[in-house]
Amino acid sequence: MVDIGNFQELRKKNIKVAKEKVKNSVSKDLMIINAINNIEELDKTINVFSGRLREWHALTDPEMCKRVEDNEVFITEVLQAVGGGSEMGAKLDEDDETAIKALAATANALIQTKTFLLLYLEKTMDLYCKNVLVLAGPTIGAKLLREAGSLKRLASLQSSTVQLLGAEKALFRHIKTGARSPKYGHIINHQIIASAAHADKGKAARSLADKLSMAARVDYFKGEFIADKFLKELTEKFCKKEKK
Amino acid sequence: MVDIGNFQELRKKNIKVAKEKVKNSVSKDLMIINAINNIEELDKTINVFSGRLREWHALTDPEMCKRVEDNEVFITEVLQAVGGGSEMGAKLDEDDETAIKALAATANALIQTKTFLLLYLEKTMDLYCKNVLVLAGPTIGAKLLREAGSLKRLASLQSSTVQLLGAEKALFRHIKTGARSPKYGHIINHQIIASAAHADKGKAARSLADKLSMAARVDYFKGEFIADKFLKELTEKFCKKEKK
């Protein structure tokens, strides 16, 4: 006969081990991925609410909505505005004004949370993958890490894959329909690519992906800090021509 | 020769008249429409951020994310949680915890803004279209007003149109492809329809739309308050059967 007592003990032990494993599977990777996802979401939301706020505030001050293009400045101005309506805008009740300002305050809170999460992301990456942080910047670096899944996987990817991380949609379109293959993924927003001469962009992307791949490896194996050297090299190679 | 001086004076006068017209075209309708649009947007955003918060917080306390289903309760519990991780959750750094709480605080601020705007909407509708407010409730009432464009237009619509306001997509699908015609638009969420017996739902929708149409007319022509009588009539007619 099976000894039920022993079996239940084994079961308990197994559950304990499993729970322990779940607990220890939480890495800084997941923190970074969650942070960048939320920053992206906040970005979208801030845009949506800025648009809605513009639409609403335009009733009392249409001129300002045209004049102030930057969303953050706009939100601050709405919060500071003293009611009464502009030349073309309607004079609002106190209630209407309070409602519009409540929306502006919410948008402002969203901006502040985004700023805070960006700082948190930088701080976390500074301790976990400083080379990737310095070479790619917090946003691009975190997105690369997210697309790869973890720092470990990012470190094990070929540099040509790193170059295309974030361009999966275009890549599969290329494979499926034979459309032109993408040249860059998330790194397209990097300053090195942006400031490279048009003919050099492809080359710059390859070199940057190469260095990024190395940076991820150095970070994963807890090597020394070398991203500043990489960045200097790349800048000298690709941004010099602009100065001539 | 044309007298330029006179012409410019005329032009100035015309601009002044135009600006005056723009100014006076802002009505409570627009306030109500903006408020309901923003409430809907806030609703969506609160859902998105609750989901993201659940995902992130699950790293430190997966049990709680399963246990607490209500988003508002969940957000409050995250804000009050003292770090350390549950049995299966990881113990987080202080920084990680602060970041998660910052997100929870933002979600909370969004909920508060939504509550505030709902109160504002009710107050505005109470002064502007009390019959519609009491008969339809603030959310459905404001949506009907938005779909119609203004209280004036809502008052001039046939009750069969009011019945289908908000179901434009299904209506045009019906006209184009011959699919089944929609029975109700926004009023489908009304308590009268919800609590009517299944066989009576269509009849209830027609009666409700009929009364809503009357309510809008009374509101537009500044008549007396009759919505409570309408509501009582409808409740007696369609919700009685449940009590039997």
Which residues from A are below 8 Å from B116, CB to CB?
A: 99, 102
CB atoms within 10 A of CB A30: 17
Is the pLDDT confidence value at A93 over 80? yes
Tell me the pLDDT band of B244, cut-offs 50, 70 and 90: very low
The residue extents of the domains of chain A are 27-128, 129-244
Residue of A19, A29, A31 to mutate when probing chain B, most B C-beta within 10 A: A31
3-state secondary structure (DSSP) of residue A111: helix
CB contact under 8 A, A30 and B59: yes
CB contact under 8 A, A59 and B30: yes
Per the CB < 8 A criterion, the answer to whether A128 and A28 are in contact is yes
The residue whose two tokens read 């508060």 is B112
Which residues from A are below 8 Å from B29, CB to CB?
A: none
Q: How confident is the prediction for chain A on average, in pLDDT? A: 89
Q: What is the pLDDT of residues B118-128, one digit of tens each?
A: 999 999 999 99
What percent of chain B has pLDDT above 90? 60
Rg (CA), chain B: 25
Q: What is the DSSP letter of A25?
A: T
Q: What topology is assigned to B27-128 in CATH?
A: Helix Hairpins (1.10.287)
- Nearest to A220, CA basis, from A120, A149, A116: A149
Supply the pLDDT for residue A82: 72
Q: What is the pLDDT of residues B46-69, one digit of tens each?
A: 999 999 999 999 888 888 888 899
Q: What is the pLDDT of residues A163-184, one digit of tens each?
A: 999 988 888 888 888 888 888 8
Burial class (CB in 10 A: 0-12, 13-18, 19+), B21: exposed
- Rounded to an integer, the average pLDDT of A53-76 is 90
Distance CA A49, CA A71 (A): 10
Tell me the pLDDT band of B82, cut-offs 50, 70 and 90: confident
Q: What is the DSSP letter of B25?
A: T
Residue of A96, A117, A127 to mutate when probing chain B, most B C-beta within 10 A: A96
CB atoms within 10 A of CB A15: 12
Which residues from B are below 8 Å from A23, CB to CB?
A: 85, 87-90
Token couple for B80: 């009050």
C-alpha distance from B213 to closest chain A C-alpha (Å): 26
C-alpha distance from A176 to closest chain B C-alpha (Å): 32
Distance CA A212, CA A231 (A): 10
DSSP letter for each residue of B103-133:
HHHHHHHHHHHHHHHHHHHHHHHHHH-HHHH
What is the SS3 assignment for B145-201? Answer: HHHHCCHHHHHHCCHHHHHHCCCHHHHHHHHHHCCCCCCCCHHHHCHHHHHCCHHHH
What residues of B are in the A interface, CB distance below 8 Å?
19, 22-26, 30-31, 34-35, 37-38, 41-42, 45, 48-49, 52, 55-56, 59-60, 62, 85, 87-90, 92, 95-96, 98-99, 102-103, 105-106, 109-110, 113, 116-117, 120, 123-124
Distance CA A105, CA A182 (A): 41
Distance CA B93, CA A87 (A): 54
A&B contacts, CB < 8 Å: 108
Q: Which residues of A114-130 are buried (b: 16+ CB within 10 A; e: fewer)?
A: bebbbebbbebbeebbb
Tell me the pLDDT band of B243, cut-offs 50, 70 and 90: very low
CB contact under 8 A, B103 and A38: yes
Greatest extent of chain B over all pairs of C-alpha atoms, in Å:
92
Burial class (CB in 10 A: 0-12, 13-18, 19+), B25: exposed
Cα angle, residue A206 at apex, residues A186 and A165 outer, rounded to 5°: 30
Distance CA B120, CA A59 (A): 17
Q: How confident is the prediction for chain B on average, in pLDDT? A: 89
Q: What is the DSSP letter of A198?
A: G
Tell me the pLDDT band of B135, cut-offs 50, 70 and 90: very high
Distance CA A188, CA A192 (A): 9
CB contact under 8 A, B19 and A45: no
Is the pLDDT confidence value at A243 over 50? no
Which residues from A are below 8 Å from B103, CB to CB?
A: 38, 113, 117
Tell me the pLDDT band of B89, cut-offs 50, 70 and 90: confident
Which residues from B are below 8 Å from A87, CB to CB?
A: 19, 23
- Nearest to B83, CA basis, from A160, A50, A26: A26
C-alpha distance from B164 to closest chain A C-alpha (Å): 26
pTM: 0.85
Those residues with Cβ within 8 angstroms of residue A49's Cβ, 6 or more apart along the chain or in another chain: A103, A106, A107, A110, B41, B45
Distance CA B47, CA A235 (A): 43
ipTM: 0.84
- Rounded to an integer, the average pLDDT of A80-102 is 82
The residue whose two tokens read 């890549």 is A171
Q: Which residues of B190-229 are buried (b: 16+ CB within 10 A; e: fewer)?
A: bebbebbeeebbeebbebbbbbbbbbbbbbbeeeeebbee
Write the CATH number of the domain with boundaries A129-244: 1.10.246.90
Residue of B60, B65, B113 to mutate when probing chain A, most A C-beta within 10 A: B113
CB contact under 8 A, B34 and A123: no
CB contact under 8 A, B59 and A26: yes
- Rounded to an integer, the average pLDDT of B231-242 is 81
C-alpha distance from A202 to closest chain B C-alpha (Å): 36
Per the CB < 8 A criterion, the answer to whether B207 and B234 are in contact is yes
Distance CA B162, CA B182 (A): 12
